[in-house]
Each structure stands twice: as structure tokens, then as C-alpha cells.
Amino acid sequence: MSTPYPFTAIVGQDDLRLALLLNAVSPAVGGVLVRGEKGTAKSTAVRALSALLPTVDVVSGCRFSCAPGAPAPKCPDGPHEVGAGVDRPARMVELPVGASEDRLVGALDIERALSEGVKAFEPGLLADAHRGILYVDEVNLLHDHLVDLLLDAAAMGASYVEREGVSVRHAARFLLVGTMNPEEGELRPQLLDRFGLTVEVSASREPDQRVEVVRRRLAYDDEPAAFAARWADEEAALRQHIASSRELLPSVRLGDAALRQIAATCAAFEVDGMRADIVMARTATALAAWAGRTDVLAEDVRQAALLALPHRRRRSPFDAPGLDEDKLDETLEEFGDRGEGDDDPDPGPGGGPGNGPGGQPAPGDGPQGGDASARPEAGEGGEPQAGPGAGEQSTVQAAEPFRTKTLSVPGIGEGAAGRRSRARTDRGRTTGARRPQGALTKLHLAATVRAAAPYQRARGRSGPGLVVRRDDLRQAVREGHESNLVLFVVDASGSMAARQRMSAVKGAVLSLLLDAYQRRDKVGLVTFRGAAAEVALPPTSSVDAAAVRLESLPTGGRTPLAAGLLKAHDVLRVERLRDPARRPLVVVVTDGRATGGPEPVALAGRAARLLAAEGTASVVVDCEAGPVRLGLAGQLAGELGGTAVTLDELRADSIAGLVRDVQGAGTRRAA
């Protein structure tokens, strides 16, 4: 076993270390979500924590880590006698992003269950993590069906495995720790709320601190055991501090004054539900125990809010998490001196601004300032004047987003689970059966019985049990929904530069991005203006990043429509090699004009037919405005083999049958 990097040797990252240590003191806090850029010691810190946790007393030979003093009455390895157990180190179990459902919850031997009625169960990662740490690196990339299982286990403290009448249940209480890079996409709100605390991490910009990070890492890589030995005393002292804080925790008093501050803070930041209040109370109690105190002070409540609320406050999906610390201090001060009539400690001046444990900047404290005023705009049909930079316009803000009609890719795919287009998936309604390809995951019971029934006499069946062979087993074929790659191709030329129109266009694209966020899609952004097109955002799961690129998109110049379509073709070609199962949907946002170079209209038509020839599903959002309409966007949609919709028709409440139109276009193209 490799020597872990010592927790005490980590340089900086104070919030990260504190959040992990508070969970070590009080696992009831509910885990930690670590958000930050790559290369910031997220995984190193989590792996180092497991070496500091106290040992776990378990029933000898129990695969489900039952406590000897109170074994689970329905443990699959039970029943157990109450008595002495054995100590073992606390486990840290890693859940790979690409794990299967059976690997997470465990697997039943379906063949033995059918033929012998035996519950032959192989425990999964949830059983291994019971009374330990379940660590998910890149948790935001976890498939939705695994997220659902994690949510169930976290809510119930148990894992259930149900397969065609065979049921297994076992305890699954664990400390959930996840790390993620926000640039690769956000978490579902339900899973986000299950993490007790969240911290934002970033690399230090101080040269001396960066030098120390490199020096220690190189020393560890050269001689891991020797490096760990040099930090053994600090590790032992920290381990003892955790143990003593755990012993003190039951004696910590959470008075009414602190409870009022907690409730007022959660109300002030408009968090949903009551879980935030409970997590804050547990965190503040753990902070007091960590400080060696038996009373919760205002400074504990303040620090608890900074750790427990940023990911819970009500916000738009494109807003960065974070708290307004001035508002936090005002709330604590307002409700910090109302403890008259009881014996609870009065936070006094400690609850005022600036007196909590400070120095931590609040990430994302609201929108940036600045005026969105622009230069005078070109007319609706105006092209820029000659000369470099002519027709340039500063960026404009997007209009308010709205709920869009669902756009989907025709046919049935086999991509990653999501919520957009029809697909054959592991979850969903059963539509048929087939022979299993590899391990059997979802048994189709009726088809299996039909396959085995004709051979029962030949197999010598004499009892009530069905004689089932491996060749009889049938895998259920299920239909659900997949996520797609939604590639936006946005016209940013001078013909789109009218201020009001560009604001509406950005609002429409932002609305589609919000829809993609909710449907778990990957997104990409190609823009074209002037003399060329560029990939403003390569395909990514981070819809937030696409929204930022869109907000800063300038307009002006000629309209190289063909260049935009060809750039989209290049992006899709590369993505097919990287992720061949994910089907693309190209959304072209333009008024359909093409200018610049020889025969720009004919060239755009050839580029559109190139995309159509490869079966790429497409929608053209027609941005043409004014009393005289040329219908160029509709012609482009015809060349693409897709459909055209206006900005108004894109709204969910303004047109029926948009999905049918898209699918119908795909059917005509296939024909």
C-alpha cells in the first residue's frame, strides 16, 4: 500500500482542511463538496484525511461493517451476536465516475436466485463505505442513475437492492466527500444539498507559498516513507486533537441565542428547506468542540454559515455560489443580543462585523458593476463600412431568459443518460429483451422464463424450481432519455448588431443554455463575424462557462456564415472521435444573411449540405426582424435538413409541435 501524503504537510487551503476536520470531529455534519480548479490538492487532502480518522469497531467477518454492540438486525451476513468485535482502520472508498450500478450497490446472482432461491449477494461500494468515507472525484460528472442511488442511500442511511422479487437491505451511513472542477459542469441541486459543507479552493498567487508546495511535493515523490516520517509527530498531534474534540462534542451547548442567529441567517439568505439550519447547528457545535469550548459563540455561527450556505442559497444556475459577508455580519449583529431571560452566553460584540474568524473573501458576491452602454448601432440591414474594425460594437446584456420548447434529436440513441432525446438506457421503461452482452445487469424475467421453459424435461426437472442455464438469461432493453451535445453557432456580425435585437438573441441563447443545463447536456459555442469563425467554447459540461462567453460576445463586421458552419463541422468531427455515442444537435442563431468573399450565399449552402449529409440534427433560430423579411433563415434550414423557428416561436408557450417538426425533418432527411 502506498504511503499517503501527510495531511499536516498540505500548504495553505485553510478552509478545505477545516471543513474536512470538522467532519472528522462530527460525521453528522454531512460531508464536504470541494470546488476548484485542477491541481489544488483537492484529492490529496481527502485521501490524507482517512489516515487521521479513529479506528472502527466491527463484527469479525461481517462484510457490512456492523457494530458489535448494535449489529444491524437485517444484515445480509447476520444475524450477529452482540459482543466483542475487532478494530480496523476507517476506510476511504473511491467511487469511479464510470462505475456501474451493480458496482455501487452490489449485485445479486440472478441465476442462483431463480433456480435455487438463494440470495447470493456481492456487496458494492456503499457497503464498503459504511462507517467510513465515500469519495467521488469529479462528482459533477457522475451519471444521473448513480446520483439517484447516492441520494437514496444518503437520505435513508441504507442501501436497497431489488431484483424481480429478491430483496437485500443493508446499512450505508458514510461521510460523502466530493471534488469537482466547476468548469466541467454543475451538480444537480438534490445532490448538492446532500453535502453538508462546501469550500472553494484555488492555487495560491504568493510565490513563496507556491515554492513551498513544490518543494514538499518533490520531497514526497522522492521518498514517500521518509517524508511521512518527518511529519509523524504533527500527524499524531492532529489525530489526538480530533479524538479529544470528539469526546468534548456531546458536552457542547448550543444556546437559544446561537440558534436564533442560525435561523435568522438561513432566512436572510433564502435557503430552501430546513437542512441548512440543521447543518449550520451541527457545524457550529463541531467548531466549538474543535476550539476546546463547551459553548457555541457568534464566531462559530459565522464560520458555519460560510461553509454551509454558499451552495444552498437560492440563485440562478449561472450565478456563482457565495455569500455577501456584509449581509451576514449585519444579520448576526441584529440577532446576536436577544438572549435576555436565559443563561445562554451573549455573543455581545463578537457577533458584530469583522469579529468572526476573518480574512476569507466571499466568492461571487453578486454581479460585477459596469455600464452596458454601447456605441451607436447600425440599422437593421446595415453592413459595416470598409476598413478594419468597422462596425464594431461593445457587448450588450442578454434579455431575460424564458422557458424554451424542447428541441431533440430524432431517432433513438445510446448516449449518456440525460433528459433530452430518446435513447436505449439502463433506466426507463422496458421495451423488449435480448441476450446479454457481457454481465447481466437488468433481467427480463418473462423472456428468461420463456427461453428456459421448452427445455425443462430435457434438463431433468423434477421439483418446483425452474432449471435455468446461462443461455436462458435475457437482458431487459429499456428506453429512456439521453443527453446530447448542443452546439450553438451564433451570428455575431454587423447585420445582428442592432442593440435590441442582439439583446433578444442573447436572451434566447441563454434560455437554451438553461434548458441544456437542466437536461444534463454538453454544450459548445461557435461564433462567426468579420472574416472568420472561432470556437468561443469547446464542447464542455460547464453551461456556466458558455453563459460567460455569451455575455461577453461582441458584434460587428461581415457575415461569414459558411465559415461558421464549417467550423461547427470541424468541432463535431473531433467530438465524434472523443464521444461517439453522444449525438449532436446544432442550433444556428442567425438572420440567414451571408456576406464577404466570392459567392458567400452559395458557399454557405454547400457548408449546410455537408452537415446535412452526415445526418446532423439542426435547428435554425431565425433572428430576422423588420417589416420586410427575406426568409433567408428558412432557406438555410432547408439546406441543413432541419427546421427554422423565430425567436418568438422558441418560447414554450407560443408554439406547439416544435419537437414534432424537428423529428419530422429528421425523418424526411433519413428518407
Catalytic residues: 275
How far from 512 is each of 184, 479, 550, 611, 663, CA to CA, in Å?
18, 25, 12, 21, 18
Q: What is the largest CA-CA distance in the chain?
A: 92
Taking the mean position of all CA atoms in its chain, how far away is CA 492? 30
Orientation of helix 600-613 relative to helix 561-578, angle to 10°: 20
Identify the sign of the CA torsion 126, 130, 136, 142. Answer: positive
Phi, psi (deg, nearest 5) at residue 387: 110, 150
HEC string for 523-554: EEEEEEECCEEEEEEEEECCHHHHHHHHHCCC
Residue 558's identity, in one-letter code, is: R
Task: Give the residue from 205, 336, 210 showing the smallest Cα distance to 262.
Answer: 336
How far from 182 is each of 34, 201, 258, 542, CA to CA, in Å?
10, 11, 33, 7
What is the distance between the alpha carbons of residues 454 and 424, in angstroms, rounded to a whole number? Answer: 30
Q: Show Cβ contacts of residue 534 under 8 Å, excluding neighbours closer than 6 positions.
A: 526, 527, 528, 567
Q: Show Cβ contacts of residue 663 under 8 Å, excluding neighbours closer than 6 positions.
A: 408, 410
What is the distance between the alpha carbons of residues 423 and 412, in angstroms, rounded to a whole number? Answer: 5
Helices (H), 135-206: 144-156, 189-194
Q: Show Cβ contacts of residue 580 under 8 Å, excluding neighbours closer than 6 positions.
A: none
What is the distance between the alpha carbons of residues 532 and 567, in angstroms, rounded to a whole number? Answer: 9
Buried b (16+ CB within 10 A) or exposed e, 168-200: bebbbbbbbbbbbbbebbbbbeebbbbbbbbbb
Q: CB atoms < 10 A from the CB of 148, how many?
A: 16
Adjacency order of strands within the sheet including 197-201? 92-94, 133-137, 175-180, 32-36, 197-201
Task: Give the residue from 375, 407, 414, 421 showing the smallest Cα distance to 394.
Answer: 375
537 neighbors 525 (Cβ within 8 angstroms) = yes
Orientation of helix 14-25 relative to helix 298-308, angle to 10°: 100
How far from 665 is each of 256, 585, 616, CA to CA, in Å?
64, 13, 11
Task: Give the residue from 368, 395, 374 showing the smallest Cα distance to 553.
Answer: 395
What is the distance between the alpha carbons of residues 491 and 620, in angstroms, rounded to a whole number? Answer: 11
What cell was used for 628? 420586410
